[in-house]
Structure 1
Amino acid sequence: MVEWLGSFGKSKSNGVTRQLYSNEWRCAQQALEKRMKKIGLDVYFDDVGNLFGRLTGSQEDSTTILTGSHIDTVIDGGKYDGAYGVIAGMIAMQYLFEYYGVPKKNIEVVSLCEEEGSRFPMTYWGSGNITGVRTMEDVRNLVDLQDTSFIKAMHESGFGQGEYRQPKRDDIDCFVELHIEQGEVLEREEKSIGIVSHIVGQRRYEITVIGESNHAGTTPMAWRKDALYVASGLIQLLIQKARETNSDLVATVGQINLEPNIANVIPGKATFTIDIRHSEDDVIDRFSMGIFKEFQSITDSHNTELRIKNWMNEKPVKMCEKLIEISESILNKDQTPYKKMASGAGHDSQVFGSFCPTSLLFVPSHKGISHSPHEFTSTEDLEKGIRLLIKVLYELAY
């Protein structure tokens, strides 16, 4: 099923490009719709393109146990990211119905329309609409790199025009997401399952150092206001302090831009990004405040100007302790090696985690590679994840 779903948007390098509201995305959702119907689920879309397969519970007015993940990918991404959670939910529900019949509570598997933000500057569009933190107003003026508007792309895919039910939900009892780790902790520590306790908070900044452009040959070293030289010192300090601060804190500089970016001109402006992550918001606060105080001191000493722009501030999200206990009990009984861990990557579970009780479960990723055609998880590990999901859903719904 992984290979089958990966065929929708398959790239020349054997990766997958399946962006929101593209033809490849639409074909994948339609194929999943047929597959869900084939295994006996009641299937429907909502008005933003989330796809649901439902086992209706025997209890009147019962709430819904929701499982699944996202269908979209980054450009030339892997076959497992998101897709595995959708496939796992379908297999688990088929198994439960065949062996145990109708559940007491409703169970639904969701193929969320979008999580990655790889086509439009918008993430968690699928889960955000279900939980009510995203609305049509958020995408009204968004366009992709080809200048296609978000609204136009959505309409061309048949959504966003009121033909399907509204996405906001108020009947969800809990959300369980099974996902590949996208890191190498589980593989290195020889654990079969990761139980996520927290999804880390993310703070992103744009740092600009403004100096003075001048001739590379005629300006003495002592008189220069070299923005790149100063920025490189800030970056080195950042990484050094992150290593010293906390073993779970990570800081990354992923992008640098120079002006005028000419070989024989001293850079007058250097801009770089900072991504800081940790499971505790106050740790991020203290680190950020401390490092920026030192940044200011350094730029002042070089007669340069410092500008700091905070453009993302995602809070850490704690997963549900009760759901964690259910998974731990199952794994201990089965003598399956597992690890409680924080997730360093963002997932739809962080959106659901502020809305309803949520559990995020990981299976190993080979060498930690993800967002790549080389993304891989063994069939054995995929199966172990699905076996756990089956038992968790049985506890919750039966």
Structure 2
Amino acid sequence: MLELGLLTDTNKKETLLAYFEQEAELWLNWLASFTRGGEPGVTRLLYTKEWLAAQRALEGKMTELGLVPSFDEIGNLYGKIKGVQETAPSIITGSHIDTVVQGGKYDGAYGIVAGLLAIDYLQRTYGQPVRSLEVVSLCEEEGSRFPMAYWGSGSVVGKRSFAQIDSLQDEEGISFREAMADCGFGEGAGAPARRADMAAYIEVHIEQGAVLEREGLSLGVVEAIAGQRRLKFTIGGESNHAGTTPMHMRRDALEGTSAMIGLLRQEAVRLGPPLVATVGRLQVLPNVVNVVPGKVEFTVDARHADGQQLDAFCRWTVDAFERIAAERGLDFACEEWFREEPVPMNERLKKELDDICRELAIPSKRMVSGAGHDGQMFHHSCPTALLFVPSRGGISHSPDEYTSPKELAIGIMALAKLLYKLGYEGELL
């Protein structure tokens, strides 16, 4: 095996990349086999038989690699290499094992595979680290089976609790607690999920967007996970006959809404990245071909890495939409129904990743994550970093999700280098 300290040697770097390429592809295909049968893509929902089989299989793989595996009470799986400083907080890497329905094989799984390959390489090359290194296969992030996201990471940092799941059921009426118990987990069934012994959390993930691919870059060092605001607008007009109501006499709720949506896009484009704004749901009443629409309900999802700028944009949106409604004699109502603050990643870890990209001649950029990730939970308890590899066409949550083996390998190599600095050189955060 090669030493990370010699990765500036082009030949050695290419040899290690080829190794990670081959292994990552094999591991991801293996993990993708744990899926609900008869469907395209990968379907591995929390506390299903496919989910349990995948976690148990990963437990076996960890043992084979010389890691010490352990489950906590909710089903998060850790694989650990003890450091010389046994009582020092651990450096943790990983991601989530669950998927959306008919998702891809990279979302979540890649972060787990990357962690296993990086730590296996480091252990075989350098032996025991100074600080303990751990890979975590988090039990859940997506919220695909039960109406609760970040159950795995949220429980680790105390943002999720058993009290929050008491009334939750899936679409078949199976309770959260029942599904968990069927897999052998539950309150007191293992080590507590809450941890206070984490020195850092580093997650490698597919971008789920097209920025890196379009800019020809190999890695994205995430500055922050964007904050979100979700607004619901209700625009009231007057339903009337489409043939007998003159244009100047209409109170057309849909026409007013169309003007609002057009202005929203115009302003978001003017302000530019990292702001994004989306009208994702629109309901028109009575929704009949020959009737002037009398009522429209629609949503706006706005995201930005700066909470103050996000709030300013949302205030502008409400004021602008209300003005458009007033000009047309339309009724107007607005409700904010979801708010999540931006989560900055750790400055020291971002700088380390920037340095690694320069050392290894990896083309990269700082960027904002518009999607949520487990890192936004870990941020509450320890220094956190998030690293992106490109996604072909920006496609994710789909069987068509794809990242090339070489791009996967570059992410693993950067992760290994960071884990070496933190775990073997013992650099403190």
**Does the TM-score normalized on the shorter chain lie above 0.5?**
yes
SS of match in other structure, 2:266? helix
1:36 partnered with 2:73: no
**Cα distance in structure 2, aligned partners of 1:156 and 1:78:** 26
**Which aligned pairs between 1:165-184 and structure 2 lie closer than 5 A?**
165-184=191-210
Identity of aligned residues (%): 50
Alignment-derived partner of residue 274 in structure 1: 300
1:227 partnered with 2:227: no
Structure 2 residue runs without a partner (length 5+): 1-26, 425-429
Shift of 1:276: 0.7
Q: Given the superposition, is the C-alpha separation of residues 82 and 211 from structure 1 closer, same or farther in structure 2, using an over 3 Å criterion?
A: same
Amino acid at match of 1:209: I
**Which aligned pairs between 1:160-199 and structure 2 lie closer than 5 A?**
160-199=186-225
**Which aligned pairs between 1:53-132 and structure 2 lie closer than 5 A?**
53-132=79-158
Equivalent residues of 1:317, 1:354 under 8 A apart: no
Question: Higher mean Cα deviation, 223-232 or 6-15?
Answer: 6-15
Shift of 1:2: 0.6
**Cα distance in structure 1, aligned partners of 2:368 and 2:355:** 19
Amino acid at match of 1:376: Y
**Cα distance in structure 2, aligned partners of 1:11 and 1:374:** 17
Amino acid at match of 1:148: I
Give the one of 359, 367, 370 matched to 2:385. 359
Equivalent residues of 1:64, 1:105 under 8 A apart: yes
Alignment-derived partner of residue 336 in structure 2: 310
Amino acid at match of 1:389: L
Shift of 1:330: 2.1
**Cα distance in structure 2, aligned partners of 1:168 and 1:120:** 21
Q: Given the superposition, is the C-alpha separation of residues 151 and 253 from structure 1 closer, same or farther in structure 2, using an over 3 Å criterion?
A: same
Q: Given the superposition, is the C-alpha separation of residues 270 and 148 from structure 1 closer, same or farther in structure 2, using an over 3 Å criterion?
A: farther
Question: Higher mean Cα deviation, 363-372 or 4-13?
Answer: 4-13
Give the one of 354, 372, 377 matched to 2:398. 372
Shift of 1:190: 1.9
Question: Higher mean Cα deviation, 296-305 or 93-102?
Answer: 296-305
Equivalent residues of 2:162, 2:187 under 8 A apart: no
Amino acid at match of 1:238: L
Shift of 1:170: 0.3
Question: Higher mean Cα deviation, 71-80 or 218-227?
Answer: 218-227
SS of match in other structure, 1:30? helix
Equivalent residues of 1:13, 1:373 under 8 A apart: no
Shift of 1:157: 2.4
Question: Higher mean Cα deviation, 8-17 or 67-76?
Answer: 8-17
Give the one of 340, 351, 363 matched to 1:325. 351
Shift of 1:216: 3.7
Alignment-derived partner of residue 233 in structure 2: 207
Deviations, residues 108-164 of structure 1 (Å, cap 9, x unaligned): 111111111222222111110001111122222223333333222222222224211
Q: Given the superposition, is the C-alpha separation of residues 285 and 356 from structure 1 closer, same or farther in structure 2, using an over 3 Å criterion?
A: same
**Cα distance in structure 2, aligned partners of 1:66 and 1:316:** 22
SS of match in other structure, 1:205? strand
**Which aligned pairs between 1:126-141 and structure 2 lie closer than 5 A?**
126-141=152-167
Amino acid at match of 1:45: F
Shift of 1:220: 4.2
Equivalent residues of 1:155, 1:161 under 8 A apart: no
Question: Higher mean Cα deviation, 205-214 or 308-317?
Answer: 205-214
Alignment-derived partner of residue 397 in structure 1: 423
Equivalent residues of 2:224, 2:367 under 8 A apart: yes
Amino acid at match of 1:48: I
**Cα distance in structure 2, aligned partners of 1:342 and 1:118:** 24
Deviations, residues 56-75 of structure 1 (Å, cap 9, x unaligned): 11214111111000111111
Alignment-derived partner of residue 4 in structure 1: 30
Shift of 1:386: 0.9
**Which aligned pairs between 1:210-289 and structure 2 lie closer than 5 A?**
210-289=236-315
**Cα distance in structure 1, aligned partners of 2:77 and 2:389:** 24
Amino acid at match of 1:176: I
TM-score by length of 2: 0.88
Alignment-derived partner of residue 371 in structure 2: 345
SS of match in other structure, 2:412? helix
Q: Given the superposition, is the C-alpha separation of residues 152 and 283 from structure 1 closer, same or farther in structure 2, using an over 3 Å criterion?
A: same
Equivalent residues of 1:194, 1:338 under 8 A apart: yes
Equivalent residues of 1:11, 1:76 under 8 A apart: no
Q: Given the superposition, is the C-alpha separation of residues 160 and 307 from structure 1 closer, same or farther in structure 2, using an over 3 Å criterion?
A: farther
Question: Higher mean Cα deviation, 305-314 or 280-289?
Answer: 305-314
